[in-house]
Amino acid sequence: MSWQESLRYPDPAIRTLDPAFTKLRLPLSSVERLWTGSRWGEGPVWLGDQRCLLWSDIPNNRVLRWDEETGAVTHFRKPSGNANGHTRDRQGRIIACEHGGRRVIRIEYDGAITVIADSFEGKRLNSPNDVVVKSDGSIWFTDPPFGIGGFYEGEKATPELPHTNVYRVDGDSGKITLVADDVDHPNGLAFSPDESILYVIESRSEPRNILAYDCAGATLSNRRVFVACATGETPDGFRVDVDGNLWCGWGMGGPGMDGVKVFNAAGTPIGFIDLPERCANVCFGGRHRNRLFMAAAHSLYSLFVNTQGAPGG
Residue 252: predicted pLDDT: 79
User: In the sheet where 73-77 sits, what is the strand order?
Assistant: 41-47, 52-57, 62-67, 73-77
In contact, 294 and 249? CB cutoff 8 Å: yes
- Residues 39-80 have pLDDT tens digits of 999 999 999 999 999 999 999 999 999 999 999 999 999 999
What is the Cα–Cα distance from 189 to 219, expressed in whole angstroms? 15
Tell me what the mean pLDDT of segment 249-268 comes to. Answer: 91
CATH class of the region 14-304: mainly beta
206 against 42, higher pLDDT: 42
Q: How sure is the predictor about 1, in pLDDT bands with cuts at 50, 70 and 90?
A: low
Q: How sure is the predictor about 312, in pLDDT bands with cuts at 50, 70 and 90?
A: confident
In contact, 83 and 43? CB cutoff 8 Å: yes
- Residues 164-191 have pLDDT tens digits of 999 999 999 999 999 999 999 999 999 9
Q: How sure is the predictor about 206, in pLDDT bands with cuts at 50, 70 and 90?
A: confident
For the cut 70, the answer to whether the pLDDT of residue 97 exceeds it is: yes
Residue 56: predicted pLDDT: 98
The 10 Å Cβ neighbour count of residue 48 is: 14
- Residues 127-147 have pLDDT tens digits of 999 999 999 999 999 999 999
For the cut 80, the answer to whether the pLDDT of residue 120 exceeds it is: yes
The answer to whether the predicted template modeling score (pTM) of the entire model surpasses 0.95 is yes
Compute the mean pLDDT over every residue in the chain, rounded to the nearest whole number: 96
DSSP 241: B
User: In the sheet where 209-216 sits, what is the strand order?
Assistant: 186-191, 197-202, 209-216, 219-228
Residue 155: predicted pLDDT: 97
What is the Cα–Cα distance from 82 to 155, expressed in whole angstroms? 9
In contact, 164 and 285? CB cutoff 8 Å: no
**How many percent of the chain have pLDDT more than 70?**
99
- Residues 21-33 have pLDDT tens digits of 999 999 999 999 9
Residue 313: predicted pLDDT: 65
Tell me what the mean pLDDT of segment 199-215 comes to. Answer: 95
